[in-house]
Structure 1
Amino acid sequence: MRLRTRLLLALTYVLLLAVISLGLPLALSLRSRVDAEVRSQAESQADLVAATASDLLAPSQRGRLDRLVSTAAADVRGRVIVVDADGRVLADSAGSGRGASYGTRPEIASALGGRRSQIRRHSDSLGTDLLATAVPILGSGRTAGAVRVTQGVDEVGRAVRRITIELALLAALVLALGMAAGLLIARSVARPIVRLEDAARRVADGDLSVRVPTDEGSAEQRSLARSFNEMTARLSRALDRQREFVADASHQLRTPLTGVRLRVEEAQALGVSPAAAHELDGAEAEVDRMAQLVDELLLLSRAGEHELPAGRLVLGDVAARAAERWTPVAAAAGLELTAVAGDAAPAAWAPAAELDRALDSLVENAVRYASPATAVEIAALAGAIEVRDRGPGIDPAERELVWERFHRGRAGRQASGGTGLGLPIARELARGWGGEATLRPRPGGGAIARLDVPPAAPDPGRRPSPGRRRSPATAPPEVPA
């Protein structure tokens, strides 16, 4: 999960927790407050009607009493009735209960007994729950009647639900605004890290010139950016010094090696004993080996310095060219070298010179270690070229060690020649164009060296994107004759 997503989720969680912890108690508090206000309003209205109606119970005042209950009913949005001391209705805001006996109703019976009452009960006639508030009407020190105010609980519930919905919408708005702000904060926090990640990937691909901005993000991120820039600068300088040293060393070594070769050739020309001639031939072979070692060290030191253009290649043609180059060497070693191309092998994408150089390293290795009078095959497959030999094979414990520089393996130590750099060069070149070089035992004895090559894009003008494109600029060394 990306850092920006993690930060946004964390901020969303905090906001959601805050909204719930504040909104839920507020909703419950408002619900209780609305219910309390409705009850208080009913009681206040009932007390007001009772105080006013104490002087309007006489038959001559019924008109004023009717207007009083109608006004009170409109204020409380309910029904208001006034009963006499016997529980008979004197005035009803609904206009339908005058003269009826309500003395058996529990709230009215309680009020006629001189006690205030406020209960919630179900009305069978109306089929709904009611909040009934009844207070006594006092006159001349005794209970002269009662006032009852009834309100539908559904109306109170609708009011509570309306307030709850409004609070929920407000909470959703706060959450949305908070998430939008959190997204901006997450982006601002993650942006320097994303740029640093991209820069690190480019450095891994070989681009040591990349730098990241040091003026954005937190103090820790700015410090990290400065440290990263210093690291890449030092690494670039170190690699430059390394390449310069190897190039200078190889250049300086070529001169004495040339001098040694000339002296050996001069000694051979002067005429020496057969034993001395044999030793001089060995010395000349060692000089050639040292010169090859210097060239390969120079090649490895410049890996990633330049980029060679890649193109569409037919792997069957690449295998055929390699077989043509190495057939004289294989014949001199008593080996048969053949190229095998599959009919359905698709086109590949790689620098031709680098692919030839990597394949030469694998073929040279196979020719050197193959058993006499056996065959070496160069097989072009779909997306790969394999070099198959019938030599001593590869020890499973050394399948990766042989790719290290100067590590020649058990079979290499028993054979003459070789520098221990051919396989590392092949892998370095292959990884440069997004491929890979591997080695595995061959069934029946021997080894199979494989070069994986990326397939060509359908559009010839578009280059595939390998993992790393930087490749050495030097041309492959000449194949020994």
Structure 2
Amino acid sequence: MTRRLLLSYLALALLVLAGLEIPLGYIYARGETSRASQSVERDAAMLAEVTEENIEKGQFDALPDVVGDYATRTGGHVVVTDKQGVVLADSAPLGRTGISLAEQPDISRALNNQPTVTTTTDGEGRDVLSATMPGSSGTLVRGTLRLTYPLDQVSTRVHRIWGALALAGASTLALVALVAFSMARWITRPLRTLEAATTQLADGHLTHPPDATTGPPELRQLATSFTRTATRLQHLLQSQQAFASEASHQLKTPLTALRLRLENFEPHLDPRAHGSLDEAVGEVERLGRMVQGLLALARLENTATTPEPVDLDTVLADRVTMWESLAAEQYVTLDITGSPAGQVWAIPGALEQIIDNLLANALRVSPASTTITLHRLPGGELHIIDQGPGMSAADRERAFDRFWRSSDSHHDGTGLGLPIVRHLVDASDGTITLNPAPGTGLDALIRLRPVATRPYQAQPTGKNFASRRPRGRRTQAVGRP
């Protein structure tokens, strides 16, 4: 913003200077040309009178001295002719006399007692002011005089004034730039401190509040309001974090005690009530997992973490190894395919939890003797594909809602696994979508930003884990297994 303000001030100053100096320069240039023209016309008229007297008296020998002296003093070029247009004197060193100039327009008009003042070019191609005057007494013309004066000196003076105007403009712009830069820095100082404070607040801690003592009153008021809002927000976040921490301890203890009390009832109940008791214990366990999921979501939402480079291939191989035993118990094969994906941006620990939750969901719906394919692609793309019953389009739209479970589901999930996955993917600046897999099943597609500037090591593909024996209860994953 400082640069934009500075450019705005300079553009405004440049427009003002251009509006003043350009017309002034043109006026001065026209004035110099006009003054030079008038001076040449006046000198030509005076010389014409002198030469006319010499011609009248027959003093032709005095003419070269008169025109030569003037040419030496002023740098002009003087040519004198008689009433027939024949050159009597020429101030040029190589000038010729005795030749007729009567056919030249300006000489012809002067012989008709008509003066001529104009701008033309000489024999060397230079621009000159030319004044041709008749040497006459009344209507009797005894000769003519042509005075040409080079415009080089006039152009030099004009260029000098243009240079002076340009120097004055540059100096003015430099002064304006200095003043504008100081003013822009003063105006934007609260904004810079506000930006730094916003960055700190996004990281979770406001250690340096924005400066509310300098800058325009509006920005000072904005900085004060931001500090008050940030302080209130930090207080609320700290209260929420404290609640999540305390609730984690306060809720786990009574739920554990309730489950133990229910299990202790088993010897004293009629065998026909054991089924209801198992269902009650299962609901208590589900409630415990739900509490853990809610606390996990609260901790994730209260933690502002910056994504870091993570090797997707290494994490993938590690998580598949961790899930080997559970997959084997359900006669399900885990298969890593595709080319190495390389490094991606993810918040610390997020990629592991994402894969864990998606594998847990896939294992829960995968029939025996099927394969869960983990297909990776270069550029940070990962597909987790199962061969289960799949999901309808409507269910896929609502799958990331908290506590939502499909109406035809018969598992004891909490409906928090996929919302946690969505939150972790969003925090890592990635995307996740659920698509139908070829045939049956579900394709969970995760896209994370690749780290193109860092090398990665390829992991082996096609790693298979076979099953051994069926497992009894299936687990709803919230964190890692």
Give the TM interval when normalised to the shorter protein. 0.7 to 0.9
Aligned to 2:274: 277
Kindly state the Cα deviation for residue 287 of structure 1 after the two structures are TM-superposed: 1.0
Aligned to 1:358: 354
Distance in 2 (CA, whole Å) between partners of 1:424 and 1:185 is 50
Kindly state the Cα deviation for residue 419 of structure 1 after the two structures are TM-superposed: 1.5
SS at match of 1:145: strand
Aligned to 1:466: none
Distance in 2 (CA, whole Å) between partners of 1:384 and 1:325 is 26
Aligned to 1:67: 65
**Alignment match of 1:50 (pick from 48, 51, 60):** 48
Indicate how the Cα distance of structure 1 residues 80 and 307 shifts in structure 2: closer, same or farther if over 3 A, else same.
Answer: closer
Aligned to 1:236: 234
SS at match of 2:412: coil
Aligned partner of 1:117: which letter?
A: T
SS at match of 1:403: coil
Indicate how the Cα distance of structure 1 residues 128 and 87 shifts in structure 2: closer, same or farther if over 3 A, else same.
Answer: same
Report if the CA contact (8 A) 1:42-1:76 is conserved.
Answer: no
Kindly state the Cα deviation for residue 424 of structure 1 after the two structures are TM-superposed: 1.8
Report if the CA contact (8 A) 2:36-2:154 is conserved.
Answer: no
Aligned to 1:381: 376
Matched ranges for 1:340-351 at <5 A: 340-342=335-337, 345=340, 348=343
| Pairing 1:425–2:424 present | no
Matched ranges for 1:171-182 at <5 A: 173=170, 177=174
Farther-moved stretch of structure 1 (422-431 vs 196-205): 196-205
Kindly state the Cα deviation for residue 196 of structure 1 after the two structures are TM-superposed: 4.4
TM-superposition CA deviations, 1:184-241 (whole Å, max 9, x none) = 4797366755664565455445555564334455443333333333333222221222
TM-superposition CA deviations, 1:229-255 (whole Å, max 9, x none) = 333322222122222233333433334
Distance in 2 (CA, whole Å) between partners of 1:325 and 1:436 is 29
Report if the CA contact (8 A) 1:393-1:447 is conserved.
Answer: yes
Farther-moved stretch of structure 1 (285-294 vs 445-454): 445-454
Indicate how the Cα distance of structure 1 residues 338 and 199 shifts in structure 2: closer, same or farther if over 3 A, else same.
Answer: farther
**Alignment match of 1:339 (pick from 334, 343, 346):** 334
**Alignment match of 2:388 (pick from 370, 388, 391):** 391
Matched ranges for 1:125-136 at <5 A: 131-136=129-134
Aligned to 1:321: 321
Kindly state the Cα deviation for residue 288 of structure 1 after the two structures are TM-superposed: 0.9
Aligned to 1:253: 251
SS at match of 2:148: strand
Distance in 1 (CA, whole Å) between partners of 2:43 and 2:309 is 94
SS at match of 2:444: strand
Report if the CA contact (8 A) 2:327-2:334 is conserved.
Answer: no
Report if the CA contact (8 A) 1:81-1:149 is conserved.
Answer: yes
Farther-moved stretch of structure 1 (355-364 vs 171-180): 171-180
Distance in 2 (CA, whole Å) between partners of 1:316 and 1:246 is 30
SS at match of 2:388: coil
RMSD: 4.4
Report if the CA contact (8 A) 2:320-2:334 is conserved.
Answer: yes
Indicate how the Cα distance of structure 1 residues 185 and 394 shifts in structure 2: closer, same or farther if over 3 A, else same.
Answer: farther
Aligned to 2:303: 305
Indicate how the Cα distance of structure 1 residues 274 and 146 shifts in structure 2: closer, same or farther if over 3 A, else same.
Answer: farther
Indicate how the Cα distance of structure 1 residues 84 and 345 shifts in structure 2: closer, same or farther if over 3 A, else same.
Answer: closer
Farther-moved stretch of structure 1 (414-423 vs 317-326): 317-326
Report if the CA contact (8 A) 1:295-1:477 is conserved.
Answer: no
Aligned to 1:267: 265
Aligned partner of 1:339: which letter?
A: L
Indicate how the Cα distance of structure 1 residues 384 and 32 shifts in structure 2: closer, same or farther if over 3 A, else same.
Answer: closer
Indicate how the Cα distance of structure 1 residues 218 and 85 shifts in structure 2: closer, same or farther if over 3 A, else same.
Answer: same
SS at match of 1:80: strand
Distance in 1 (CA, whole Å) between partners of 2:388 and 2:199 is 40
**Alignment match of 2:401 (pick from 400, 404, 408):** 404
Runs of 5+ in structure 2 lacking a partner?
457-476
Distance in 1 (CA, whole Å) between partners of 2:402 and 2:364 is 18
Report if the CA contact (8 A) 1:322-1:359 is conserved.
Answer: no
Runs of 5+ in structure 1 lacking a partner?
461-474
**Alignment match of 1:368 (pick from 334, 351, 364):** 364
Distance in 2 (CA, whole Å) between partners of 1:85 and 1:344 is 105
Distance in 1 (CA, whole Å) between partners of 2:105 and 2:320 is 110
Aligned to 2:147: 150
Distance in 2 (CA, whole Å) between partners of 1:112 and 1:347 is 98
Aligned to 1:107: 106
Distance in 2 (CA, whole Å) between partners of 1:395 and 1:343 is 27
Report if the CA contact (8 A) 1:388-1:442 is conserved.
Answer: yes
Report if the CA contact (8 A) 2:80-2:143 is conserved.
Answer: yes
Aligned to 2:221: 223
Indicate how the Cα distance of structure 1 residues 366 and 156 shifts in structure 2: closer, same or farther if over 3 A, else same.
Answer: same
Report if the CA contact (8 A) 2:372-2:386 is conserved.
Answer: yes
Aligned to 2:23: 25
Indicate how the Cα distance of structure 1 residues 318 and 33 shifts in structure 2: closer, same or farther if over 3 A, else same.
Answer: same
Distance in 2 (CA, whole Å) between partners of 1:450 and 1:300 is 21
TM-superposition CA deviations, 1:130-169 (whole Å, max 9, x none) = 6431334455x66463552332666478558846974796
Report if the CA contact (8 A) 2:193-2:209 is conserved.
Answer: no
SS at match of 1:213: coil
Report if the CA contact (8 A) 1:81-1:91 is conserved.
Answer: yes
Kindly state the Cα deviation for residue 28 of structure 1 after the two structures are TM-superposed: 3.4
Indicate how the Cα distance of structure 1 residues 409 and 62 shifts in structure 2: closer, same or farther if over 3 A, else same.
Answer: farther
| Pairing 1:116–2:111 present | no
TM-superposition CA deviations, 1:11-66 (whole Å, max 9, x none) = 56545544554454344333422321221111111133234445544668555543
Kindly state the Cα deviation for residue 444 of structure 1 after the two structures are TM-superposed: 1.0
Distance in 2 (CA, whole Å) between partners of 1:356 and 1:84 is 111
Aligned partner of 1:361: which letter?
A: N
Distance in 1 (CA, whole Å) between partners of 2:207 and 2:399 is 32
SS at match of 2:399: helix
Distance in 2 (CA, whole Å) between partners of 1:192 and 1:215 is 8
Indicate how the Cα distance of structure 1 residues 351 and 224 shifts in structure 2: closer, same or farther if over 3 A, else same.
Answer: closer
Distance in 2 (CA, whole Å) between partners of 1:137 and 1:429 is 103
Indicate how the Cα distance of structure 1 residues 84 and 242 shifts in structure 2: closer, same or farther if over 3 A, else same.
Answer: same
Aligned to 2:442: 447
Kindly state the Cα deviation for residue 311 of structure 1 after the two structures are TM-superposed: 6.8
The number of equivalent residue pairs is 452
TM-superposition CA deviations, 1:89-111 (whole Å, max 9, x none) = 44332364445555555434544
Distance in 1 (CA, whole Å) between partners of 2:167 and 2:347 is 63
SS at match of 2:265: helix
Farther-moved stretch of structure 1 (274-283 vs 174-183): 174-183
Indicate how the Cα distance of structure 1 residues 4 and 326 shifts in structure 2: closer, same or farther if over 3 A, else same.
Answer: farther
TM-score (norm 2): 0.75
